[in-house]
Structure 1
Amino acid sequence: MAPELRVPRFLTALPAPIRWLALPLALSCTVVVLIGSWGAPANVEVPTPTGKVAAYCQALAAALPPEVLGHARKDPSPASLYVAAWASSPRTVLRCGVDRPEELNGEHAKDLSPTIDDVTWWSQKLDDGGYRFITTMRRAYVEVTVPGGAFANPLDPVAALNPVVKANIP
């Protein structure tokens, strides 16, 4: 004879429709939380540098900090030596070995390009309110994308990453 299944007393006190929906609702919430915490920032293209540029980017990857301005490093999946990210959502993303932006050839070439400790960063405001910063005058192009509202000053994570970029990308 099969053992009798006993329903916990707190569940029997609830109306039937609530009892029936409790498990599906709990499972749905769990799935939403898991999906929301997975993987990479949306649409992160992994660069494919070669030769000396790849070597510079690999050196940079080894030297990147585990935390930037209080945000822990959470790299996209699958892992790549050429992409790093900090925070969970929205993420600040660094890509090394990107191609030279076409915008540097046109009217945007004269856009704001702050220099921090001998590293010049060309900046571009993105449609979503964030910023894209790319090193210029270096042997490899390094891009840092800062989402809108993630920091009081979008240049803060760039300034925090600047010393390691300067030390590894001549």
Structure 2
Amino acid sequence: MPDSDTGAPPKVVLVIAATLAVALAATVAVFALTQGRARPEAGPLPLVPVPAPEAGSPGCTALLGAVPTELTSNGSALKLRELANPAPPATVAWGTDDPVVLRCGLNRPPELTQTAPLRVVNGVQWLQVSGEGASTWYVVDREVYAALTVPDSAGTGPLQQLSDTVAAKLPAKPLRFS
């Protein structure tokens, strides 16, 4: 019912409408904040298989038997993660949101050419292949090819730690381009 002097709604209706608008805005803000902090349950990680003809090799057995149960990523600990069945052979992963994945026994990466830029990390030569949101780093100077896929948000800790493991378990070999 309009105010008899101005034709505006009564003050009670305006106060109720304003209160409802503020309550709705607060509810939306709280919901948005809590959703941003919610972490998905970390069940077994499903991974697609990739060709890994050397997955059963002694080199992969030695490497995978020595991987750490935890990696450091930007000061946070990434714990070894269970893989969903059927799990790809010679594959391990760490972390929940954006996991770090190591695969061993792969084919020679086609990007490995005589002019490909390589990076040496803790005595291990790696070939970086950048993707959307992650990079895959291939060990290219050992008896087997291994690939470490690292999300862009992870920093260099996982690569450094896995370089130490590769250097300790797999002797260096000359690069192979064919």
**TM-score, with structure 2 as normaliser:** 0.63
> AA paired with 1:136?
V
- 5+ long unaligned stretches in structure 1: 1-32
Give the Cα–Cα distance (whole angstroms) in 1 for the partners of residues 57 and 82 of structure 2.
Answer: 18
Pair 1:42–1:77, CA change in 2 (3 A): closer
What is the CA-CA distance between 1:91 and the residue it aligns to? 0.4
RMSD (Å), alpha carbons: 2.4
Pair 1:148–1:38, CA change in 2 (3 A): same
Corresponding residue for 1:162? 163
Corresponding residue for 1:74? 81
> AA paired with 1:163?
D
Larger relative strand fraction: 2
Give the Cα–Cα distance (whole angstroms) in 1 for the partners of residues 127 and 63 of structure 2.
Answer: 19
Give the Cα–Cα distance (whole angstroms) in 1 for the partners of residues 116 and 164 of structure 2.
Answer: 24
Of structures 1 and 2, the larger Rg is shown by: 2
Pair 1:46–1:72, CA change in 2 (3 A): farther
Give the Cα–Cα distance (whole angstroms) in 1 for the partners of residues 168 and 88 of structure 2.
Answer: 20
> AA paired with 1:156?
G
> AA paired with 1:62?
G
Corresponding residue for 1:27? none
- Given candidates 111, 119, 122, the residue that maps to 1:114 is 119
Give the Cα–Cα distance (whole angstroms) in 2 for the partners of residues 80 and 67 of structure 1.
Answer: 20
- 5+ long unaligned stretches in structure 2: 1-38, 172-178
**TM-score, with structure 1 as normaliser:** 0.66
Corresponding residue for 1:60? 63
What is the CA-CA distance between 1:46 and the residue it aligns to? 6.5
Give the Cα–Cα distance (whole angstroms) in 2 for the partners of residues 87 and 122 of structure 1.
Answer: 23
Larger relative helix fraction: 1
SS in structure 1 opposite 2:81? Answer: coil
Q: Is the 8 A contact 1:57 1:81 kept in 2?
A: no
What is the CA-CA distance between 1:45 and the residue it aligns to? 2.9
Q: Does 1:124 find its partner at 2:129?
A: yes
**Percent of paired sites with the same residue:** 25
Q: How many residues align?
A: 128
